[in-house]
Amino acid sequence: MNKILASGWTKAVVFLMCLVPALLLGSGWYKEALGPNPVENITHTTGDWTIRFLLITLSVTPLRKLLHLPMLIRFRRMLGLFAFFYGCLHLTTYLWLDQFFDWAGIWKDIYKRPYITAGFTAWILLVPLALTSTSWAIRKLGGKRWQLLHRLIYFSALAGVIHYYWLVKSDIRLPLMYGAILLVLMLYRAIIWFRPKARAGGSF
């Protein structure tokens, strides 16, 4: 399995798979097949994929340890960047198709509507991570500082879950499910943190 994961082809296939939701949205938009409220459809789809990619990225480390698949690490940066990519599409949909770049209204929303504040926080926290995702940035920052900075992803995912929980009106099952997944992923890290032997195994 590690051999398959090490192949350049596998990386290309995973990359294309990550693009599928965006391609489907693009083709739906082009064919005018996104339903009666296309903007709402795009906002929801891009929001869903942002939180999913954040959680998938956070699953890489536990999965590579538990399944003994160290090569999974090759996909972590790409998956994290896809979380940022869908987050940017989500934010752009809001700024452009929902608010028509009405900056006064947008700032008021960020300031006054808690779920928008949480979503914006989640996105802002991803910006330094995307900007320092290159090997050059890792070298410049040094491994330890880079790792510390990249722990912001935990707070981004938490803010994303809160954003989702605050925006749903009645059915809270999905935000709770994402929250539960995040909790399990964080508990895994907490256990590793308190067991120095396991911690010696590398990044968590």
* Residues at the contact surface with ligand HEM, assessed by CB under 6 A: 43-44, 47-48, 50-51, 54, 87, 90-91, 94, 116, 119-120, 122-123, 126, 156, 160, 163-164, 167
Q: Compare residues 58 and 126 and give the one whose CB is closer to ligand HEM.
A: 126
- Which token pair is 17? 């798979």
Virtual torsion, Cα 145, 189, 18, 26, nearest 10 deg: -90
Q: Compare residues 60 and 158 and give the one whose CB is closer to ligand HEM.
A: 158
Cβ 83 to ligand HEM shortest distance, Å: 7
Cβ 171 to ligand HEM shortest distance, Å: 10
Of 86, 91, 112, the closest CA to residue 166 belongs to: 112
Reported for 133-140, long-range contacts at CB under 8 A and 24+ positions apart, including other chains, are 133/77, 133/80, 133/81
- Which token pair is 182? 């995040």
Q: Compare residues 15 and 155 and give the one whose CB is closer to ligand HEM.
A: 155
Q: Compare residues 69 and 98 and give the one whose CB is closer to ligand HEM.
A: 98
Of 179, 148, 164, the closest CA to residue 48 belongs to: 164
- Using CA atoms, how far apart are residues 35 and 45, in angstroms rounded to an integer? 13
Do 119 and 92 touch, CB atoms closer than 8 A? Answer: no
Q: Compare residues 35 and 196 and give the one whose CB is closer to ligand HEM.
A: 35
Cβ 189 to ligand HEM shortest distance, Å: 19
Three-state DSSP class for residue 1 = coil
N-term to C-term CA, the chain: 22
- Using CA atoms, how far apart are residues 154 and 196, in angstroms rounded to an integer? 21
Cβ 167 to ligand HEM shortest distance, Å: 5
Cβ 200 to ligand HEM shortest distance, Å: 32
Q: Compare residues 28 and 70 and give the one whose CB is closer to ligand HEM.
A: 28
Do 90 and 50 touch, CB atoms closer than 8 A? Answer: yes
